[in-house]
DNA sequence: GTCTATAGCTGGATAGAC
DNA sequence: GTCTATCCAGCTATAGAC
């Protein structure tokens, strides 16, 4: 974009956004102080405060910069496959997952994948709000698209299955290392293409399962 | 003040364990201080330190008290269904999930479900270690059982699918509220029996999908 | 075993010079 | 816009009386 920035270093704002992305992803919201953040970006504490004000703003701006392109890419892919006629279930799921898991789009994208997954289970209310604002609209569009190719599936069942898809996706993005620990490192959730190749058919089969009859209520204390 | 000490109130240790379970589940490891913990348990800061030493010990002991019964119940259920002959895929998955999701076993179990899910994505290394020590053995047994009923599935595919199951399970236990936000509250992951009724067939269908042919490598570094 | 008191830090955020 | 200096609330952990 701006070639004029042929200066020695990248602008302060950008250095802070990058450092925040990387450190929040690695240590969580409460795990990194604005002092550490500033030091990592080679910036004074006051400079951070000048540019972003309170800590929450930094996270919000990191998120704003990355989430919109992901949501846009999702919609673009969905539009593309729908333009070719009735899409397959697999194609829809892939259009949903790929932009979230793919990291090689822009420099610095990889930490964001982890950051986003971390944010999903972060207890702070404002992180939920950030997430909802960023993705509710595009996710809603995908639920509609899924409903169209699964006409026999009740809306509630679809919602549950979409929820499970989000869980499998988040867990893969967060990569907590459980599966490496269980298989001696045989499978690596960090391999994006391989993760997609496995998750898409797994989820598709799940979505195609017969609808669930509502179970009888268990006696509850 | 105290007439025979342990009559009027529950012991200090137990009050601290309960408070820790609830507060760590709600706010995460870094989100709650030992001061808050002590106040919540109606105990002084020093009493906490006397009983548990450093903060990490409290979490470790909370976990030790709950995880073992869950793993044991899993193994008991697995043994029970295997005793009746070759178990179904659904029965195995249910035996794995139910003890993790069920909360009405003992007083105070509900917060632990959330705590455990939170711990799975916590960045601290020691929380991963706690989790691995608690569940690696029983999870290994379930992977074996799954392999037995899915003889045609390569081990790598099975590992990936087990990983996705863990993700869907964790996400449901953590209940980050995404699906309520997307469906206007129509589906509630906090309803254990309903969650099981939906997750078991979803995962079973995923496990039964055809094995994945290893995709061509994308250009990568 | 339980208390009060406090040491010794680190946290987020700001003031005001330049 | 960027700095140094600072405020002060909050943190973990310990000391020492009872």
Q: Cβ of B178 under 8 Å from any chain A Cβ?
A: yes
What was the pLDDT predicted at B109? 77
Q: In which band, very low, low, confident or very high, does the pLDDT at A4 lie, cut at 50, 70 and 90? A: very low
More confident of the two residues A6 and A110: A110
Length of chain A: 221
- pLDDT tens digits along B6-50: 433 688 999 999 999 999 999 999 999 999 999 999 999 999 999
- Cα A146 to Cα A89, A96, A102, A132, B185: the distances in Å are 7, 11, 22, 20, 19
Give the three-state DSSP class for B104: coil
Q: How many CB atoms lie within 10 A of CB B174?
A: 24
| A123-137, A145-159, B106-120: least confidently modelled range | B106-120
DSSP state of B129: H
Q: Is B27 on the interface with A (CB under 8 A)?
A: yes
- Greater model confidence, B6 or A132: A132
Determine how many CB atoms are found less than 10 A away from the CB of residue A7: 7
Please state, rounded to an integer, the average pLDDT across all residues of chain B. 90
Confidence at residue A220, expressed as pLDDT on a 0 to 100 scale? 44
* Contact criterion met (CB below 8 Å) for B133 and B140: no
pLDDT over 90 (residue A56): yes
User: pLDDT tens digits, residue range A190-221?
Assistant: 899 999 999 999 999 999 999 998 765 554 43
Chain position carrying tokens 């003040």: B1
Question: Nearest residue on chain B to A210, judged by CA atoms?
Answer: B201
pLDDT digits (tens, 9 = 90+) for B152-190: 999 999 999 999 999 999 999 999 999 999 999 888 998
Lowest model confidence (mean pLDDT) among A72-76, A150-154, B65-69 = B65-69
The distance of B113 to chain A (nearest Cα, Å) reads: 13
Q: How many CB atoms lie within 10 A of CB A79?
A: 11
Question: What's the mean pLDDT in A79-93?
Answer: 96
A15 CB neighbours strand D below 7 A: no
Lookup: nucleotide whose C1' is closest to B30 CA: D11
Q: How far apart are CA B133 and CA B136, in angstroms?
A: 6
pLDDT class for B106, splitting at 50, 70, 90? low
Q: Is the CB of A50 under 7 A from strand D?
A: yes
Structure tokens, A121: 């289970």
| Interval B48-71 mean pLDDT | 93
Which chain A residues in 59-88 lie under 8 Å from chain B, judged by CB atoms? Answer: none
As a whole number, mean pLDDT of residues B143-158 equals 97
The CA–CA distances, whole Å, from B163 to A46, A167, A174 equal 44, 11, 12
Min distance A186 CA to chain B CA atoms (Å) = 7
* Helix (H), strand (E) at residue B158: helix B155-174
What value does the CA radius of gyration of chain B take, rounded to a whole number of Å? Answer: 20
3-state class (DSSP) for residue A145? helix
d(CA A221, CA B86): 33
Is A139 within 8 Å of chain B by CB? yes
* B132 has a chain A CB within 8 A of its CB: yes
Tokens at B121, concatenated: 């994505």
Integer Cα distance of A181 and A176 in angstroms: 10
CA B6: distance to chain centroid? Answer: 31
Note every long-range contact of B8-14, with CB atoms under 8 Å and residues 24 or more positions apart, other chains counting: B12/B41, B12/B43, B12/B47, B12/B51, B13/B51
The H or E element spanning position A174 is: helix A155-174
CA distances from B133 to A38, B20, B129 (A): 36, 20, 6
- B45 Cβ contacts chain C strand, under 7 Å: yes
State the Cα–Cα distance between residues B84 and A164, nearest whole angstrom.
Answer: 30
Distance of CA A195 to the CA centre of its chain: 14
Q: Across the interface, which of A143, A161, A186 has its CB nearest the CB of B182? A: A143
State the Cα–Cα distance between residues A51 and B156, nearest whole angstrom: 47
How is A12-30 classified by DSSP, letter by letter? HHHHHHHHHHHHHHHH-ST
Residues A100 and A138 sit within 8 Å (Cβ to Cβ) = no
DSSP codes joined into one string, B22-63 = HHHHHH-STTS-HHHHHHHTT--HHHHHHHH-SHHHHHHHHH
Would the pLDDT of B98 be above 90?
yes
B124-133 pLDDT, tens digit per residue, is 888 888 999 9
Name the band, by pLDDT with cuts 50, 70 and 90, for residue A82. very high
CB nearest B179 (choices: A121, A159, A214):
A159
pLDDT digits (tens, 9 = 90+) for B82-94: 999 999 999 999 9
Q: Are A75 and A144 in contact (CB under 8 A)?
A: no
Determine which of A4-18, A89-103, A153-167 has the lowest per-residue pLDDT on average: A4-18
pLDDT value of residue B186: 85
Q: How far apart, in Å, do the first and last CA atoms of chain A sit?
A: 62
Q: Calculate Rg over the CA atoms of chain A.
A: 20
- For residue B155, the distance in angstroms to the closest alpha carbon of chain A comes to 9
Task: For residue A208, list chain B residues with Cβ-Cβ distance below 8 A.
Answer: 205
Which residues of chain A are within 8 Å of residue B182 when distances are taken between CB atoms? 136, 139-140, 143, 159, 162
- What is the tens place of the pLDDT at every residue in A172-187? 999 988 999 999 988 8
Residues contacting residue A179 through CB under 8 Å, at least 6 positions apart: A187, A189, B159, B160, B162, B163, B166
Out of A143, A160, A176, closest to residue B198 by CB: A160
Q: Is the CB of B44 under 7 A from strand D?
A: no
- Which nucleotide's C1' atom has the smallest distance to the CA of B53? D13
**By the CB < 8 Å criterion, does B203 face chain A?**
yes
Q: Is-contact A120 A24, C-beta < 8 A?
A: no
CA gap A138, B79 in Å, rounded: 44
Cβ-count burial A19-42 (b if 16+ within 10 Å, e if not) = bbbbbbbebbbbbbebeebbebbe
CB contacts < 8 A (A, B): 196
- Mean per-residue pLDDT of chain A: 90
Residue in A96, A173, A115 with CA at minimum distance from that of residue B164 = A173
């Amino acid at each position: 974009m701006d070639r004029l920035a042929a200066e020695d270093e990248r602008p302060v704002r950008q250095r802070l956004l990058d450092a925040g992305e990387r450190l929040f992803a690695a240590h969580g919201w409460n795990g990194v102080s604005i002092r550490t953040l500033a030091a990592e970006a080679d910036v004074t504490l006051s400079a951070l405060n000048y540019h972003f004000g309170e800590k929450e703003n930094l996270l919000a701006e990191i998120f704003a910069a990355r989430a919109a392109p992901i949501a846009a890419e999702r919609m673009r892919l969905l539009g593309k496959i729908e333009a070719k006629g009735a899409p397959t279930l697999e194609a829809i799921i892939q259009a949903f997952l790929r932009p979230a898991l793919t990291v090689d789009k822009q420099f610095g994208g990889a930490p964001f994948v982890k950051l986003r997954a971390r944010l999903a289970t972060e207890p702070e209310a404002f992180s939920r709000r950030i997430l909802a604002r960023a993705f509710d609209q595009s996710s809603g569009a995908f639920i509609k698209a899924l409903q169209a190719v699964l006409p026999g599936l009740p809306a509630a069942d679809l919602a549950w299955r979409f929820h499970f898809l989000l869980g499998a996706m988040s867990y893969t993005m967060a990569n907590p290392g459980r599966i490496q620990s269980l298989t001696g490192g045989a499978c690596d959730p960090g391999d994006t293409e391989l993760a997609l190749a496995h998750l898409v058919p797994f989820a598709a089969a799940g979505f195609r399962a017969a609808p669930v009859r509502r179970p009888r209520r268990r006696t509850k204390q």
